[in-house]
Structure formats: structure tokens, C-alpha cells
Chain A
């Protein structure tokens, strides 16, 4: 590479110097969101650190340190690890399909003694890495339209299909959308993307009738007519809207959310935590939290654009895409704009694996900033 960029290579490799190059604003935004999460979790537990708030903070702290440390790892390590991580994730998905632990009628968890892993979360990171690595090595002219693009399509399709089989439609859509968007960012022909989207839209009614499980169909129907089934499937959406709406402009106040405190709001600590927050902190709180999310997305995309290596760009962008998709889908769901699907609000929702993988993704983003001048191998073994 051009000499001006790579003088004082040794200096840049020093750990302390790397720490200085970490985007601390980005980190602060993440901590702020997790902090809000902890406050809400503390409140809805009736003003108690257990069972959620303390765990949430401890896990975030642990992940935060890990994220910072991982951010100093040379992108080449990530590059090398990309396919193996993806492979492990995929294998675990297969394992879940064969012998997974079933909760609420869906096989999503892999029981490994004390730890229960949700492989669909790991495969999200694996997919981002694998796609980034693939595009790093792809001839730029082929990224637009070529038979070689069947490879990323397969990389996306395999985990999406396995996750959909669990069945976890929300995560499957999330994986497919993230992968598709990464392909578009990498240069996929927009007319082709549009055609695929149109085909998916056309296939939806067919899938609705033949592929979806009855409960998934019910959820979709419920989304369309939530008032039709107040106590059953429509309950989640109605109660969530009541929590949001009754929060009003300024909220009911810390610890005073009746919808969450009295358990009218289902899944108040996980999928519907945004509604819990909205009830107590109102429109002002919601907009502030959405602004924090917008800040993370903006900074993340800027970091991605400024990275020198395509691998780092793609990995960082992939993470941010996953993150923004989660935020938008969960937001739309709790506000009654989308069907109820099991997608949590990143960093705000309580939940172990999601936090770990999301923070691992942010490590990629930070790493892309720290190593923005570095190039990784082209996939043919050459290190610049």
C-alpha cells in the first residue's frame, strides 16, 4: 500500500495507541442504551436489581470489556476466523434442529450443560463475517451481477432456512434481510434486488397458506386485526399499545408503569421492554432512546465507510445492518406496525446470547475504526 498510510506501522500496533483510536463516542452511546435498559429492568422488577437489572449491567460490563479488547485484535484474525465461526454457527443450528431444547413450542436453544446457547444469534455474527470475507475476495466487477453471487445467497439461505425451521420466523427474516442488504451494499444490481424483493412479496401469500405454522399464521392475522382476539394473540399488541399510549408525552414516571408492573404487558423485560420504557418515560424518553439508536447507526455506518479494507467495511456495515433491522423490527412490533415476532430490542432487552453476539459485532465495528488503515488478505492468502 501507499507508504504515507503505513509509516509508523509499529506505533499503530501498540495496544495503548489502539485504545486511543477506539471510537469512545460510539462506546458511550452503547453504554447509554444498556444503561437505560438497566433502569427500565430495575423499575419493572418493582424497584429491584434482581432478577434482571443487575445481570443486565454485569453482562454488559463484561461484554463491553471484551468488546474493547476484541477491537484491538487485528482484522486479519477476524478474516481468518470468519468461515470457521460461520461454520460452527451453522453446525449448531443443525444440532438444534436435531436435538434442541424446546421452549414455547420452538426449538431455539442448545443445552450445553450450564449454558444454553441460541445458535441463531451466533450465526448472525458468523454470517456477517462470512459475507465480509467472501466479498473481500470477490472481484469487484462480479459483485454487481454474476453466477458467483450464488455463493453468498447460499451462505444466507442455509441459516435462514434452518432458523425458519425452528420455527423462528422473525430471526429468519432478520438473517435474510441482513444478508440481502449486505449484498446490496457490496454492489448488487439494484434492479435484481428489486426483482427478488418483488418475488418474495409475491410468494408471501403462498407461504402464508402452505409454509407457516398455525401460530405464525395466527400472529400475522392478529397483526392485521388485533381487536378480533383480545385475550389471545391480539393481547400482546393491544397491551403494548396501551403501555405506549398511556405513557403520553412525559410518561407515568420511574417505577410507576402500571401496564408493566401489573404484568398486563407480556414479555415486559425482553421483547416488549421498549413499551415498558415508553410507559414510564413517555414520548420524550422514547425519542431520546431512538436518538441513541440513530447515533449508533450513524457512527457505525460512518466507521464502515471510512475503513480501508473491504472486509472491515462489510463486517462493520453488516453488524450495523443487523442492529438497525433489530431496532426497526422490534420498534414496529411493539408499536403495532408489524406482527409479533421474537426480535428483541438490542442492548435494551434482557437476554444473554443476544447481548453477547451484538457486542461481538460492535467489536468488529470498533476494530474497523482502529484498523481503518489496514488491509487484510484478498482471500488468496496475500497479506498487504
Chain B
């Protein structure tokens, strides 16, 4: 009440100024809100589509689903490689996951040994963030449910059912079919099919050996994708099956192999080391391609621990090695068929005789033979496998004609059957000496006798010897081996007609007769008996030196001495001798004499093929003579 009117005016003026400035502020605030509204027009009306896409990218994730791997079948559709369900645990690491703690809780639920634990840690360490890693695979149902119950204690761990490769015949096809194993860092390439992200999928495996490796892409198929809604941590919130992209299964591959024959080879070899290859000598189809000893391919799918792998790798019989393709040996006396044919083609009379006294002196040294064979003609020399005959025969024709014949029979060449890692071996001739020995480019006559008995520079692999046997048996064309019958539905037929063999038919028939004599009266008499009546086998034994003996030293020759000092045993064969259908080669590493070690195995394996062949069986099973009471059918089959 003490205020003057002037003061009141001042007060009113203050209110007026306040009111004006309030309006000003209100205007500014309104303008600010309008600006926000304008921004909303831009974001929500004009650019809404762009942000809708971005939101969708945030929300949805496509998770690759591995395609089922193509089956591998034998010629009759027997499954050699298939897939089975696999209960496994995946661990995706992100900031919220304490890997050590999770692994510790897991090891309480199931045994995880130290080595596995160490490898797991390294694997998890190396994996990108949120990339799931298969921590445990192949769980039993009990383990799987035990983990599922305790899932809340295991952050980052998801249980899942995948597929894993399984080889029903674990060992019989381990080399030829090969195996798949986890993708290692060096498998991944920057470009090409092995750069695809599916390789990072947990539990994904690629072919590492054999057909699994060479036909990996066809077997692999095309990965699909599962559309899932994820939260900001990449965890799956919801699945959207409508958005899924189905995977394309891998193509099945049908091989020309016959599971029965292959399995018989596995049985026949037992613990022995070696290889057996069988071909149909009319079509070239490979019926058996076996290397012994073998190993469990399924173990490699799971992953072989360091000690286990070392045990396999360091075993002297080398189970991991495919001896049918990737090892070469001197062919030994099996090569005498080539020398003999070369001689016949050069016009040598098959009645030409040489006399064997167990020792033959030539070129200033003594050349040995198993025993004193006496006087032999060509057929007898093949049947008895007389070295002294062939030293002289080879000398009389020289190395080049022999090499020419050997090459026509597939030696010294690579035969593509779709498996990598073949060793070519060597068929030497004068040109080879000139090429390979610049300091001593001359073929010395002293090198010819060794070549005549398949020693010296000559080296072959088991597949090549089988091809040689098949071409001898076929007699007309230079058959090429074929292992893959079809990929998917596409038959793998060679469009190239196999070239004709430029040899006189009577010469080839002579060799076949001589090979028959090997089994009936020669080196393999009694040991290669099929016991199938009229169905008999023809063959040729071979005993190849596994190392250079010291001059004149025969101390560890043959089947005596330490295992790794013994000779390699070969046997090549075809059957039936009068109507050849199947040809094969058998190698027994350090087996000693070919007749003792390899020929019986060849007979055992050959028998399976013959008995499976209906036309051969028809020849064995004779119609029952109506006059006499016949024995029981089983015995009849044997005695017929």
C-alpha cells in the first residue's frame, strides 16, 4: 500500500514486457515444435520406405542351412556314404557369454577330455563373434536331454540337430570313397566355391580324401537359408518358415564299385598291407579298389585326436596311404607278360628255348634265378617265371620294344578315375635315359636284363597292373578304368572310344594261354585254385624287390627276414580264363613270393565277382543229370 502510482505503472509495464516476451518465447517454442514436426514429415512420410528396409534388415537374419550331402552308392545301390542325425551343442560367443564358465558347466554334464577342451577353446577363440561353434557333437539322447534341462545355466549354448556323414562300411571304402572332415583354415579360399559362407557353418564338413574330395562340390549341394527374427544380440526370437529358402541336396554319386567284392578284399587282407584292384575287362568299370590296412573313416568325420592320428600315420603299414594309386613298386615278374608280347611282336618264335642253371653269367657278373628250371620255351618260361630266360629274351629285343608294349597296356601313364594323388610310375627306355640322365644318357645293355624281369627302373601302381591285366584279357581295346558311374542322374560315360590294341590276336592269345598255365601248372598252381569247376583263373605272379640288395647278397630275399625287408608280392589275374570278364591285380607289400602271398588273395576276391555274375554261375551250375541221383545242390555246385 506504500507504493506510488508511478510504481504501479512500472509494475504494469513489467507485466506488459513479460507478456510480450512470453509471446515471443511461445512463438519460438511453437517454431521449435513445428521444426520437429517437419523433421517427422521427412523421416516418417518422405523417407519411410528407406527406414522400413533398414528396420527389416535389423529385424531379420538369414541363417544358412547346410544341404544334405549327396549319398555315395555302389553299383547296385548299396549305400557307401550317407548322413545320420547328429545331436549337438552350439556355442555362440558374444559379450554376455563367459566361455570358460560355460565349458566348465558343460564338462560337468559330459566328459570332455583335456585335449578336446584345448582344441575347443582355440576354436572358440578364433571364431568370429556370434558365429556358433559346435562344442559337442554326436551326443546320446540322454546327454542331449541332460543338457537341455540345464540350458538356463548355459548361456549362449543352443542344442540343435544337424546331420553328420556316416560310412556304413567304415574301413572297406576309406581310401576310395575317402571321408569328410571339419573345414580347416587352409581349406577356405578367397574366391571360388570354398569361399562360401556355408563353410563356416558349425559342423560343416568338406571332402578331404577320395571321391568325397574330388566330387565335393557335386556332393555338397546348395545351402538354403532359414529366415529368423533376431534381437540386437543376434539371438533368434522367432522363426519365419514362410521366408525360408530351401536347400538343394547334394547329388548322389553312384560308383562302379561292388560292395561285396570290396568287403571281401578287406576280409582277405586282414592285417596284411597291400592293395587289390578289380576291373570288368569288357567295360573298364572298376569293381574293387582297396588298400590295406585301412582305417575307420567315421573317426575322421568326428575328428581324430592328435595321438590317434600319429598312431595311424606312424604305423609302418601306412594305413592312411592309398596303396592302390599313390604308391609305385617294381612290377616284378608280372612284367614278363609285356616282355613276352614284345618278343612275339618282334617275331621271336615262341618255341625259342633257353636253359636255366639257376645262375647265368653275363656282362661280368652272375644273374640269378629261383632255381634251375632247365630248358624252357616261352610258354614254360612264363609259367615257371624263369628269370634267366627273360634276361636273355629282353637282351635279344632291347628296351624300346618292351617299353612300347608296356605303354600300350597302360603302364607309366596316369588313368583318371576321379581320385587325386595317383603316382604315374615309370616305363624306361633309351629316350628316358637320355632325358633323365644328362650325365649318362646311354642305355647300358646291363640294364636290360633287370627290365626283362620287371625290376630296375620299371615301376607301376596297382591300378596300372589291373589295367594291364584287363587289356590282356580283353585283347582288343585299350580299356580305360571307370570308377564313377553317375553323378546325380547324369551317367558318366566316356565319349572317346578306347583305341584298339595294335597286336596280333594270336600273340595275345598265346600270352593268355601262358597265364593260364601259370595257374594250372606254373608258379601259382594250387594256390590260385578257385574251386569253381570249369571256371578257372589265369594269372601271373610277381615278386618285386622292395629295396636294392647288396651285390650278391640274398640274405633277406623273399619271404624271410624282417617284415620291411621282404619282397613285395604281386599277382595279376583274369577270369574265367576262357571267357575273360574280370581282371585284377593284387599287391601284398613285403608279402614275400607273389605265388604264396598274393595269388590266394586274388583267388578269394575273384571268386566273389564270379559267383555274383549270373552267366558265370550258369556255367558252374550244370543241369542235374536225370539218370543218376545227384548230390545235394550245395556240393553239386562245388563238384561240378
Using CB atoms and an 8 Å cutoff, list the residues of chain A in contact with chain B.
140-141, 143, 181, 184-187, 239, 241-249, 258-259, 262-264, 278, 282-283, 286-287, 290, 293-294, 297-298, 301, 304-305, 310, 313-314, 317, 321, 324, 327-328, 331-332, 335-337, 382, 384
Interface window among B11-19, B295-303, B364-372, B631-639: B11-19
Interface: B628 (CB within 8 A) = no
Q: Is the beta-carbon distance between B29 and A297 smaller than 8 angstroms?
A: yes
Report the bound CA distance from A331 to B38 in whole Å: 12
Interface: B33 (CB within 8 A) = yes
Contacts of B1 in A (CB 8 A): 384
18 extra interchain contacts, Cβ-Cβ under 8 A, other than A247-B44, A262-B232? A140-B14, A141-B10, A184-B21, A186-B18, A239-B58, A245-B54, A263-B233, A264-B231, A278-B44, A287-B37, A294-B30, A297-B26, A310-B18, A314-B18, A328-B32, A335-B40, A336-B39, A337-B35
Q: Is the beta-carbon distance between A335 and B36 smaller than 8 angstroms?
A: yes
Chain B's closest residue to A298 (CB) is B26
How close is A349's CB to chain B, nearest CB, in angstroms? 16
Interface residues of B in 29-62 (CB under 8 A from A): 29-30, 32-33, 35-37, 39-41, 43-45, 47-48, 50-52, 54-56, 58-59
Q: Is the beta-carbon distance between A328 and B18 smaller than 8 angstroms?
A: no
Q: Is the beta-carbon distance between A246 and B51 smaller than 8 angstroms?
A: yes
A262-B58, A332-B36 are known contacts. Are A245 and B50 too (CB-CB below 8 A)?
yes
Contacts of A317 in B (CB 8 A): 18, 22, 25
Q: Is the beta-carbon distance between A305 and B19 smaller than 8 angstroms?
A: yes
Interface: B122 (CB within 8 A) = no
Interface: B237 (CB within 8 A) = yes
Report the bound CA distance from A262 to B37 in whole Å: 27
A141-B10, A187-B18, A245-B48 are known contacts. Are A263 and B232 too (CB-CB below 8 A)?
yes
Chain B's closest residue to A181 (CB) is B25
Chain A's closest residue to B54 (CB) is A242
B37: which of A181, A290, A305 is its contact (CB, 8 Å)? A290
Chain B's closest residue to A332 (CB) is B36
Contacts of B23 in A (CB 8 A): 301, 305
Q: Is the beta-carbon distance between A263 and B33 smaller than 8 angstroms?
A: no
Interface: B229 (CB within 8 A) = yes
The 8 closest A-B pairs by CB, nearest first: A245-B51, A246-B55, A248-B48, A283-B44, A140-B14, A262-B231, A263-B232, A328-B32
Q: Is the beta-carbon distance between A185 and B21 smaller than 8 angstroms?
A: yes
Contacts of B32 in A (CB 8 A): 324, 328, 331
Contacts of A336 in B (CB 8 A): 39
How close is B230's CB to chain A, nearest CB, in angstroms? 7
Q: For the complex, would chain B's binding face be called helix, strand, loop or mixed by DSSP majority? A: helix
Q: Is the beta-carbon distance between A187 and B40 smaller than 8 angstroms?
A: no
Q: Is the beta-carbon distance between B30 and A242 smaller than 8 angstroms?
A: no
Report the bound CA distance from A186 to B19 in whole Å: 10
Report the bound CA distance from A297 to B41 in whole Å: 22
Contacts of A314 in B (CB 8 A): 18
Q: Is the beta-carbon distance between A244 and B10 smaller than 8 angstroms?
A: no
Q: Is the beta-carbon distance between A283 and B25 smaller than 8 angstroms?
A: no
A245-B43, A301-B22 are known contacts. Are A262 and B33 too (CB-CB below 8 A)?
no
Report the bound CA distance from A140 to B232 in whole Å: 57
Q: Is the beta-carbon distance between A246 and B22 smaller than 8 angstroms?
A: no
Contacts of B17 in A (CB 8 A): 187
Contacts of B54 in A (CB 8 A): 242, 245-246
Chain B's closest residue to A141 (CB) is B10
A140-B10, A262-B230, A263-B233 are known contacts. Are A244 and B26 too (CB-CB below 8 A)?
no
How close is B33's CB to chain A, nearest CB, in angstroms? 5
Q: Is the beta-carbon distance between B232 and A264 smaller than 8 angstroms?
A: yes
A283: which of B30, B41, B230 is its contact (CB, 8 Å)? B41
Chain B's closest residue to A245 (CB) is B51
Using CB atoms and an 8 Å cutoff, list the residues of chain B in contact with chain A.
1-2, 10-11, 13-15, 17-19, 21-23, 25-26, 29-30, 32-33, 35-37, 39-41, 43-45, 47-48, 50-52, 54-56, 58-59, 229-233, 237
A278: which of B11, B40, B230 is its contact (CB, 8 Å)? B40
Report the bound CA distance from A272 to B241 in whole Å: 32
Contacts of A310 in B (CB 8 A): 11, 14-15, 18
Q: Is the beta-carbon distance between B25 and A244 smaller than 8 angstroms?
A: no
Chain B's closest residue to A335 (CB) is B39
Report the bound CA distance from A264 to B56 in whole Å: 11
Report the bound CA distance from A263 to B44 in whole Å: 20
Q: Is the beta-carbon distance between B44 and A245 smaller than 8 angstroms?
A: yes
A-B contact pairs, 11 of them (CB 8 A): A186-B18, A241-B51, A243-B55, A245-B55, A263-B231, A264-B232, A287-B40, A305-B22, A332-B35, A335-B36, A336-B39
Q: Is the beta-carbon distance between B25 and A258 smaller than 8 angstroms?
A: no
A185-B25, A282-B44, A301-B26 are known contacts. Are A264 and B58 too (CB-CB below 8 A)?
yes
A246-B55, A262-B231 are known contacts. Are A293 and B41 too (CB-CB below 8 A)?
no
How close is B521's CB to chain A, nearest CB, in angstroms? 85
How close is A274's CB to chain B, nearest CB, in angstroms? 9
Report the bound CA distance from A264 to B57 in whole Å: 11
Contacts of B30 in A (CB 8 A): 294, 297
Report the bound CA distance from A287 to B52 in whole Å: 19
How close is A309's CB to chain B, nearest CB, in angstroms? 10
Q: Is the beta-carbon distance between B25 and A259 smaller than 8 angstroms?
A: no
A140: which of B13, B43, B47 is its contact (CB, 8 Å)? B13
Report the bound CA distance from A324 to B2 in whole Å: 38
Chain B's closest residue to A257 (CB) is B55
Report the bound CA distance from A290 to B54 in whole Å: 25
Contacts of A304 in B (CB 8 A): 18, 22
Q: Is the beta-carbon distance between B58 and A259 smaller than 8 angstroms?
A: yes
Report the bound CA distance from A245 to B19 in whole Å: 38
Report the bound CA distance from A239 to B14 in whole Å: 47
Looking at A242, A245, A301, the one whose CB has the most chain B CB atoms below 10 A away is A245
Contacts of A382 in B (CB 8 A): 2
Chain A's closest residue to B48 (CB) is A248
How close is A311's CB to chain B, nearest CB, in angstroms? 12
Q: Is the beta-carbon distance between B36 and A328 smaller than 8 angstroms?
A: yes
How close is A344's CB to chain B, nearest CB, in angstroms? 16
Looking at B19, B30, B32, B43, the one whose CB has the most chain A CB atoms below 10 A away is B43
Report the bound CA distance from A335 to B21 in whole Å: 28
Report the bound CA distance from A246 to B39 in whole Å: 14
Contacts of B55 in A (CB 8 A): 242-243, 245-246, 258-259
How close is A4's CB to chain B, nearest CB, in angstroms? 15
Q: Is the beta-carbon distance between A328 and B47 smaller than 8 angstroms?
A: no
Report the bound CA distance from A143 to B37 in whole Å: 35
Q: Is the beta-carbon distance between B44 and A248 smaller than 8 angstroms?
A: yes
Contacts of B25 in A (CB 8 A): 181, 184-185, 301, 317, 321
A262-B229, A262-B232, A328-B29 are known contacts. Are A249 and B45 too (CB-CB below 8 A)?
yes
Report the bound CA distance from A294 to B36 in whole Å: 12
How close is B47's CB to chain A, nearest CB, in angstroms? 5
Chain A's closest residue to B31 (CB) is A328
How close is A115's CB to chain B, nearest CB, in angstroms? 30
Chain A's closest residue to B1 (CB) is A384
Contacts of B47 in A (CB 8 A): 245
Contacts of A332 in B (CB 8 A): 35-36, 39
How close is A303's CB to chain B, nearest CB, in angstroms? 10
Contacts of B19 in A (CB 8 A): 305
Contacts of A186 in B (CB 8 A): 18
Q: Is the beta-carbon distance between A244 and B36 smaller than 8 angstroms?
A: no
How close is A275's CB to chain B, nearest CB, in angstroms? 10
Contacts of B45 in A (CB 8 A): 248-249, 283
Chain A's closest residue to B2 (CB) is A382
Chain B's closest residue to A249 (CB) is B45
How close is A180's CB to chain B, nearest CB, in angstroms? 11
Q: Is the beta-carbon distance between B33 and A290 smaller than 8 angstroms?
A: yes
A184-B21, A244-B43, A246-B55 are known contacts. Are A327 and B232 too (CB-CB below 8 A)?
no
Contacts of B58 in A (CB 8 A): 239, 242, 258-259, 262, 264
Q: Is the beta-carbon distance between A328 and B43 smaller than 8 angstroms?
A: no
How close is A134's CB to chain B, nearest CB, in angstroms? 14
How close is B458's CB to chain A, nearest CB, in angstroms? 67
Q: Is the beta-carbon distance between A305 and B40 smaller than 8 angstroms?
A: no
